[in-house]
Chain A
Amino acid sequence: GAVVSQHPSRVICKSGTSVKIECRSLDFQATTMFWYRQFPKQSLMLMATSNEGSKATYEQGVEKDKFLINHASLTLSTLTVTSAHPEDSSFYICSARTSGGAKETQYFGPGTRLLVL
């Protein structure tokens, strides 16, 4: 089946630094990737929708200058948390849709746990 990877799986950084998270579709082409954030014992909150070759569409309340998303190829999307602060500590999960595949089929990455000190 379709596999999505994320790197790193876990990152600890100092406040004020930037962190880049990669999301890759390993065996399929993903025209659309989604970025979610999940706080402990809460739901997945959609942050943005990323389409290959175009600007990401951000959800209301998500700062696009703070959470930079790049979807440069059909297999890679990156999320950069700029000037991270402790309140950005969370579980970040990406998912991908196969190009030409059913809209309901999303494959999730294993997530990246970010801790900002």
Chain B
Amino acid sequence: GQSLEQPSEVTAVEGAIVQINCTYQTSGFYGLSWYQQHDGGAPTFLSYNGLDGLEETGRFSSFLSRSDSYGYLLLQELQMKDSASYFCAVLGNGGFKTIFGAGTRLFVKA
């Protein structure tokens, strides 16, 4: 089967750096994506890793280690508007199916 684990909640202060970890189990692993979702809204794509290593997109970076079935999302220079839920999502079955983790609620404090 497929499963993902990520922390349920993380709290950090404005300007800080936070890392959200994700471990996964899947068949036919293709890649790992990260999405942001504000309350009441739809998920928006943040980052994707198909190969091992770090991908950087502005204040957000994502890392993948396929041998460890592990990835993380790194958010730098936190802003209040970053308070949201963050989902890791694994593309399995050779990339034809995306399964989401339970999500991590990030609270950014002033």
Q: Which of A14-22, A63-71, A74-82, A100-108 contacts B (4 or more CB under 8 A)?
A: A100-108
Chain A residue at smallest Cβ distance from B95:
A103
Give complex CA distance A42, B43 in Å.
13
Known contacts being A93-B42, A103-B30, A104-B31, is A44 close to B100, with CB within 8 Å? yes
- The size of the chain A interface, using a CB distance under 8 A, is 20
Shortest beta-carbon distance from B42 to chain A in Å: 4
The prevalent SS among residues of B at the interface is strand
Q: Which of B14-22, B44-52, B72-80 contacts A (4 or more CB under 8 A)?
A: B44-52
- The size of the chain B interface, using a CB distance under 8 A, is 22
B44 near A106 with CB under 8 A, answer no
A43 near B98 with CB under 8 A, answer no
Give the A-B pair count, Cβ closer than 8 A: 50
Give complex CA distance A107, B98 in Å.
12
Residue B91 is within 8 A (CB to CB) of chain A in the complex: yes
Residue A115 is within 8 A (CB to CB) of chain B in the complex: no
| Per-position binary interface string of chain A over residues 1-42, scored 1 when its CB falls under 8 Å from any chain B CB and 0 otherwise | 000000000000000000000000000000010101000011
Shortest beta-carbon distance from B41 to chain A in Å: 7
Known contacts being A43-B102, A93-B42, A108-B43, is A103 close to B96, with CB within 8 Å? yes
B33 near A44 with CB under 8 A, answer no
Would you list 14 pairs from A and B whose C-beta atoms are within 8 A, ordered by A residue? A32-B96, A36-B100, A43-B100, A43-B103, A44-B100, A46-B98, A46-B99, A46-B100, A49-B97, A93-B43, A103-B95, A103-B96, A104-B31, A108-B45
**A-binding residues in B (CB < 8 A):** 30-31, 33, 41-45, 48, 50, 87, 91, 95-103, 105
**B-binding residues in A (CB < 8 A):** 32, 34, 36, 41-46, 49, 93, 103-111
List of 8 A-B pairs having minimum Cβ-Cβ separation, nearest first: A103-B95, A108-B42, A44-B100, A104-B48, A43-B102, A111-B42, A43-B100, A110-B42
